[in-house]
Amino acid sequence: MFEAFEIMKWPLLACLLLPGLLVYLGLHIVQREIIFVDLALAQVAALGTCFGILMHYEANSWESYLLSLGFTFVGAGIFTLTRTKSHRVPQEALIGIVYVVTAALGILLLSRSPEGNEELRRTLIGEVLLVTPEQVLRTFGLYVVIALVHWFCRRKFLTISFEPDRAVAEGRSVRWWDFLFYAMFGWVVTSFVQIGGVLLVFSFLIVPAVCANFLADSLGAKLLIGWATATVASGAGLYASYVLDLPTGAAIVCALGLALILSLLAAKFRRGPAVS
């Protein structure tokens, strides 16, 4: 038992400490109805890592991290400019195009690397089991700073995400606050992609937020449910990966998927049968 704790200690701390901010940002993303923006930004960050690998930098080096961050800020600018009231071309369509193109570019770049297939797998599912104390503490410190910015500016961010028409009516600089939101969001995603990969980032951002929306109405209740979902699914996924010798990131994603099914059933049971 002690050996298992030593192996899983830092992965467990990473999955307990870091998803808290991801859940909060996920509620914003679900409310904005741009579900795949996190997946797209995660893939943009992974593309930066691919460029770093092609330039012979280590995937976890600070050079690769800065490249990923730079690519992500560009993506944040693109998504800021493509948010319009016109529905001629839905923003979600443009987000999907960015994801597909950056994924294809990543494949092309890694085809030039002798270990391309392994690196591609790593960008998708990550290596959370190999996370270091430095990575966890450094990323947690960054998340605390970004969480404080969101706390002090919470009215502006919440209004733009949850009441965009009111934000426009009040004369807020929507594009500026949108860019700041996406830039910090991209920074969060970039940092976690280095640890957990694209799929785990997407799952932590969206699944707990969707579970919370099924079960609660107020923002506070949604946060509590989302955090509880992420915590329980992380523990269950890590335990299953250790006992059954499964890939850790994929096990956590599947545990989150199971949590979503249970939340849907709980929501159906709570509301009862529809009256015809």
Q: Which amino acid is at 152?
A: F
Does 57 or 181 have the greater pLDDT score?
181
0.85 surpassed by pTM: no
Nearest to 209 by CA among 38, 24, 42, 39: 24
Query: What does the pLDDT look like over 167-222, one tens digit per residue?
Result: 777 777 778 888 888 889 888 888 888 788 888 888 998 999 999 999 998 889 99
Q: Over the stretch 108-152, which tens digit does the pLDDT of each residue have?
A: 887 877 766 666 666 666 678 778 888 889 889 999 999 999 999
Q: How would you label 39-66 residue by residue, b for 16+ Cβ within 10 Å and e otherwise?
A: bbbbbbbbbbbbbbbeeebebbeeebbe
Look at residues 169, 36, 27 and name the one whose alpha carbon lies nearest to residue 90: 36
The CATH superfamily of 2-265 is: ABC transporter involved in vitamin B12 uptake, BtuC (1.10.3470.10)
Model pLDDT, residue 214: 92
Domain boundaries, the chain: 2-265
pLDDT score at 215: 92
How many residues are present in the chain?
Answer: 276
- Per-residue pLDDT, 275: 41
